[in-house]
Amino acid sequence: MSSPNDAVIVAGARLPIGRKGGTLAEFDGVQLGARAIKALIDNPSINALLNDEAITDVIMGNTLSHYGNPARVAALSAGLPVNTPGLTIDRQCGSGINAVTLAGKLVAFEGGVYIAGGMESMTNEPFQLSRAKRAYDSTPPSFLRRELSTAEVGDPTMGITAENLAEKYSISREEQDDFALRSQENYAKAKAQGKYSHFLIPTETSSHGTVEHDEHPRPNTNAEKLAALRPAFISSGTVTAGNASGINDGAAAVCIVSADKAMHHDLNPLAHIGESSVVGVDPNYMGIGPVPAIQSVLKQAGRSISDYEFIEINEAFASQALACAKELDITVDNINPLGGAIAHGHPIAATGTVLIQKTITELSERGGGRAIVSACIGGGQGIATEIIVEEK
């Protein structure tokens, strides 16, 4: 049963997802985030709400930036008044989910009007350089690696974690390529049905005109093309550019209020935000993170996985999504019905909010129901949340 204090999503917007160096390359992460926020607050459906009430906070995920508190800068860049605060979340690939769940918890406990989402420009990721240890040191600076764990525990690259899971769960190259092809095909089918147009906002650029579609999908790929790709991380490996997510740019945002406030302003909730969980796992097998996170959500909700229409598992890698499906004892038919990040791309901190938006779309198309949105997180974490669309 829902209650007046339940957190609900009443509007959303996202930009097309661009490839690295592609259609959105001229914008850094904050500029992308500002465009998503501006499109959201310009949504006519929430005009009355925003005319009557100030935005309580803007919570945005961002992981690759030179800004201090990018969410605040994005809010100001979107034209929000200077008395609008901002909070930036860096939970890596889980940031876009975490921003939404945090805003939902704050709404449930304190009320208010929140904007939450994520933004990322992997094209414009700044370099990090070491500084001199003493004055007048002539030693040239060196590039610093973004460490997500400790050397003692293990801090492998994301591709190696995917190879680790493929080996541990005996996931073959063919299985991974089949899953990747399914992602591309499901995306193409969903796009043709208009399921990717509900939240998508055309974006004006100086170099590519108006960008209206995700740039990353490869609708012409096939099993033969995928099989021809070389392993990307180790010569004897099975993870390739074709069965892994992309390097991308993008931004997405949603507006969250209480069910009572939505009713007061005659807003039809798009979805309720249910239980959520964040967990830690071994960084060497970080891709398995969604499993304990999903299990925690099921325990909190007092439900079994069969109670959900589908499970959204962010496709960082095919091997990772398949390993999660094996551990959860579900088939691939139960996950990612509209395709995933292997097809549409993975702009790190923005992806989670994109997954939530497409989950809302699919549940609405089915006449309502429940789903779980989840992601693995670099450094060894997992995150999951319930998304509930009222049955019609």
Q: pLDDT tens digits for 193-230?
A: 999 999 999 999 999 999 999 999 999 999 999 999 99
So what CATH class is 158-195+274-389? alpha beta
Q: Residue 182: what residue type?
A: R
Active site residue 346: yes
Distance CA 195, CA 339 (A): 11
Lookup: tokens for 110: 């304190």
| pTM beyond cutoff 0.95 | yes
Summarised one tens digit per residue, pLDDT across range 324-378 is 999 999 999 999 999 999 999 999 999 999 999 999 999 999 999 999 999 999 9
Q: Which of 93, 216, 265, 324 does the annotation list as catalytic?
A: 93
Rounded mean pLDDT, 80-84 = 98
- Side-chain half-sphere exposure of 27, counting CA atoms within 13 A: 30
Domain boundaries along the sequence of the chain: 7-125+246-271, 158-195+274-389
* Domains 7-125+246-271 and 158-195+274-389 are alike in CATH topology: yes
Summarised one tens digit per residue, pLDDT across range 157-168 is 999 999 999 999
* List of residues 6+ apart from 147 with CB closer than 8 A: 155
Active site residue 324: no
What DSSP string describes 244-277? B---EEEEEEEEEEEHHHHHHTT---SEEEEEEE
Summarised one tens digit per residue, pLDDT across range 136-194 is 888 888 999 989 999 999 999 999 999 999 999 999 999 999 999 999 999 999 999 99
Which residue's entry shows tokens 């459906």?
Answer: 45
Assign domain 7-125+246-271 one CATH number from 3.30.300.180, 2.40.110.10, 3.40.47.10, 2.60.34.10. Answer: 3.40.47.10
Distance CA 388, CA 364 (A): 10
Distance CA 329, CA 304 (A): 12
